[in-house]
Chains A and B, each alone.
Chain A
């Protein structure tokens, strides 16, 4: 009885978490998303017909055995992926967002007080710096932070030791809400894996491990076209990254299973997108034979595997790694590649970034606009990937700590603006988009928390 109750409250907590603040009704969302979805489906279908590869195929028994043997080293496989191309890349998605228009909105030629000088033309409500200071109050100058107050010059007695002690206490109490509050100041490396699992309500019950094994069996039995897209994406992105190439095999094990996980379909209840549908061959139009493709309804795009890669530093057991990734996806990452009016949705993040830049660095914004280098064109790819692959891994994990702690992706837009503020002097001297890209090409030396702190709390406006 007690187990049921705690399971039920777990589920309720997860549902409440996800439903809070979702705004999914706007007309413009549905129209824009509809045509974008159609484009993706057409692209997938044409790939299918051009290459004469079925969307799904049952593997013959010999192939199944082979795959099972190779399960832990799928990276050694070198299939011919030259004919496959990613369904879309972030820059295609950006073009869709740029063209989002509200039919009821005055988009006249004359400049008014609300003319959007950036790329996003949708009047969503975004926070300004005073409101962000209120939201991110724990990042203030008077509060200790990991990422700032644990540097070698600072004696650990001042902050770090006490912070670690509190973290251990939170873990012993298994208090999820306290963990979420605690992690706003950053998580010690040793405690991070457990803290994230606590916040995301992931526990390794035997049925979870069994569920993962079931997904693995599904991968072995059926071969999907989407698998090749995943292979290609991993080979193009994570395998080429100095930090993540060692995790290549893990990435296949997680992403291939992810594609077959029908429980992910439940997140479409609060996602304005809808999963692609198809019918069993020969049964077109019959609802009993309607299925979703891929089974989890999510078509991966170029760079998708980078959502998983940083997690490989924290979790080494495949079923736990899988659960953590799945929960992170259905809570946060799906908002980065679907159109919605949610404050953590990618449209709001883009608008927040542009508004922050325009309001607090007007000279820089104007200069970049004049030379044809709209700032969003550079920062979009950072935000869509939640900075994965652009920052050093320890800095990235500190950033993702805060995403979990504040349950919001707005910090990505603030960081993007802070990076521009940091390199403002160099950017003022460039004269083309390519030069601006070059100035901002390498973020691997940046320290995330000082940048955020200075931008929010220490800039004189």
Chain B
């Protein structure tokens, strides 16, 4: 009985593609929206970009439970830190808090995170914190199972000093490429742009995303394709 339901008892993990990119004046964070338990998609519209403070956001990947708990703890510590400091915390502090939790509990946690934010001292910054708890300050960071398919793409497409529109387009294109090739990523693309003016959240449903090699147009029903009289719907 359990085998036929396809492993619903598997831990809730986020296959995921997460991306963080700096541009001239801020950062853009992007993620897909698929959360899977084994072979079943538990949530097709999840939000993997969580707020830590008004100016720092976190992209989560790996075990859903672990990353949610880590983000809750860091939000709590950062809140205390902001009160004690008397001003908004820096992205560096947020990233280091995440790193301390990840590193000191490395045997028990299984989560890769990307922190992105803007502060008045350093501007837009991206920090990648993969599985073991390493902290890496990078101009762009990618993570999650879908990121394997994006290393070459970013080597070719990323450049210094992009504008906000260019950075957002790059992120959306990259996430949709990963969704096309990675089974564990899917759903919609969410982006968060953080700069000196504040935070903007954007949402790209499936029909707004570009189509790649051999991908079909979104259809309401396969019966429509068949009745439309196209010779072989499976070949573009």
State whether these chains interact: no
Q: Interface residues, chain B, CB within 8 Å of chain A?
A: none
Q: Interface residues, chain A, CB within 8 Å of chain B?
A: none
